[in-house]
Chains A and B, each alone.
Chain A
Amino acid sequence: MKKLMKGNEAFAEAAMQAGCRCYFGYPITPQNEVPEYISWRMRDLGGVFKQAESEVASVNMVYGSAAAGVRSMTSSSGLGIALMQEGITNLCSTEIPCVFLNVSRGGPGLGTIQCSQADYNQMTRGGGNGDYYLPTYAPATMQEACDLIQKAFDTADKYRNPVGVMVDATIGNMMESVDIVENKAPDPSIPDKKEWCLQGGQRPDGSFARVKGLFNVPAESEEFVEYLGRKYDKIEKNEVMVDITDCDDADVVIVAYGTTARIAKQTIKFGKEAGIKIGMVRPQTVWPFPYAETKKACSHAKGVLCAEMAIGQLLQDVKIALEGTKPITQYHRLSGVMPSAKDMFKLCEKIAKEGK
């Protein structure tokens, strides 16, 4: 049933409806409504909510409960996710599934508490050590955020890897009608967690489960990291999500995600009124990035407008995708100053004429 909710509260409800039964977190604006909501709601559901003493503690508590096979999550903003990087790489190295929700605010450092997309590299490139990736969804609306948070739990379990969901503060703080799937059943293709999780006692085959991330023998470590590499290849092959609109005969293609993409929809409307064909590529996963899809969608365009609330992070992936085939114009607003549909349209007009 559709209900008017605040973004952060809707994300929390969606996570619990997807079976999240352990939440650990530490307060930070602009996502405080997530733990606040879960703190009372989790009691009805018989799960665990704990306000940890720090982000470092939160991520390690998630490590513990997720290793025991419970759907677990934490949420924070970029500053807190920064402190969790060690935990994320450990979770990847031990193949423990869980969900990280990043409600992004302006940076670097303490920055601002308003809307930003400057955590793109943090989520897609990470700050932890070693060869690992954090598959990350980047929804544009509250509804999509709720759906993808639920999907994130499935993806995490399917591949036994932590999964990120990155929303900007606008989606977290706004109110909109949303229809949250209730009691969402896990994807039936997910293997039985009993095969690996730590629940005390023996596994079905009589052996004991263990969580292991340290190798004494280089060859064993190499074999394991190669295996991780194959797993990430599989995720890149199977899990890319992208929304492509009106690109077939577009003169200009906007590449944008999250709230910036939503604002760009208005730019596309301006284009229709003015007779300028503007299309949009909206990555819904930022790792894995829809490189091939982006290149194909832009093949007809005279030029590409890369729009984001960061000084050129998405831009790096757009450059990789286009392989130098199209001129790229970058547009950004930062730190809570919102992108303007009108300003983007002016750039599109110029690109339609001159290519850049």
Chain B
Amino acid sequence: MLKEVIISGFGGQGSLLIGQVLAMAGVVEDKNATYRPTYGFEKRGGIAFCDVILSDEEIGSPVVEEPEAVIIMDERSFKRFEPLVKKGGVMFYNTSLVTSKPSRDDIKYYEVPCNDMAQEMGSDKVANMIMLGAYIGYSKAVAMDSVEAGLKEKLGHGKEKAIPLNRKALEAGAAISNK
């Protein structure tokens, strides 16, 4: 098993958190995982992306040059990463914010209006988990319970009350790509 994914958005959207939770979920399942973030000086608003690799074997390069999957949170990231997706790969993009239209016919696209969906659920903060759910629903890279375990570890003590809404968001995302 080898899964390589790039997650990209602007700072503050929780794109890097998606990557961390995914890597943690991989480790919950005893997989090898690497998470490599890239971000700028800005606290919010700069481009922030990460590469995550999950593998049963030892991971060599932690850099994903040709992702089989990308998760796109904003317009700039769409333009930057659409050309890089491996032929036959898949792109999940946030239609709440992305205005560009898909331009390739050799990859698969999933439209995920994650900010609109999150607001309907009562908190814009879970938009990133909807996106992660969509990726999990499609790739089955890890089990949803492992994602929840990873998220619990990431959030730490005192934030357990946030788990049910995040789980709901993950499931809502998965429902989009499960079909």
Contacts and interface: CB of A to CB of B under 8 A. Distances in A.
A170 B27 contact: no
B27 to A, nearest CB: 5
B60 A176 contact: no
A155 B63 CA distance: 32
B33 A262 contact: no
A98 to B, nearest CB: 30
B27 A4 contact: yes
Which are the 3 A-B pairs with shortest beta-carbon distances? A265-B60, A175-B35, A266-B61
Given A114-B38, A336-B38, A175 B23 contact: yes
A336 B49 CA distance: 13
A2 B28 CA distance: 11
Contacts of B37: 173-174
B34 A269 contact: no
B23 A4 contact: yes
Given A4-B27, A342-B65, 13 more contacts: A113-B41, A114-B38, A170-B62, A174-B34, A174-B36, A174-B37, A174-B62, A177-B27, A265-B60, A266-B61, A336-B38, A340-B65, A341-B65
A263 interface: yes
Nearest to B27: A4
Interface string B38-51: 10110000000000
A264 B63 CA distance: 11
A176 B62 contact: yes
B33 A177 contact: yes
Contacts of A340: 65
Nearest to A142: B34
Interface string A328-344: 00000000101111100
Contacts of A265: 60-61
B132 interface: no
Contacts, number: 54
A262 B35 contact: no
B60 A174 contact: no
Contacts of A113: 40-41
B15 interface: no
A176 B23 CA distance: 8
Contact of A269 (B32, B60, B65): B60
A259 interface: yes
B24 interface: yes
12 contacts: A2-B27, A29-B41, A113-B41, A173-B37, A174-B35, A175-B33, A176-B33, A177-B32, A259-B62, A263-B63, A266-B61, A340-B65
A340 B61 CA distance: 10
A81 B42 CA distance: 24
B20 interface: yes
Interface residues of B, number: 19
Interface string A165-187: 00000100111110000000000
Contacts of A341: 61, 63, 65
Given A114-B38, A174-B37, A175-B23, A262 B32 contact: no
Interface in B28-87: 32-38, 40-41, 59-63, 65
A264 B61 CA distance: 7
A341 B36 CA distance: 16
A259 B24 CA distance: 22
Nearest to A177: B27
A32 to B, nearest CB: 12
A141 B27 CA distance: 17
Nearest to B31: A177
A342 B65 CA distance: 8
Given A175-B20, A177-B32, A262 B27 contact: no
Contacts of B38: 114, 336
Contact of B60 (A4, A114, A177, A262): A262
Contact of A176 (B35, B40, B63, B65): B35
Contact of B24 (A4, A263, A266): A4
Contacts of B34: 174-176
Kindly name the residue among A113, A173, A177, A264 whose own CB sees the greatest number of chain B CB atoms within 10 A.
Answer: A177
A2 B24 CA distance: 12
Contacts of B35: 174-176
Nearest to A341: B61
A269 B37 CA distance: 24
A338 B23 contact: no
Nearest to A262: B61
Interface string B1-37: 0000000000000000000100110010000111111
A175 B16 CA distance: 11
Nearest to A263: B61
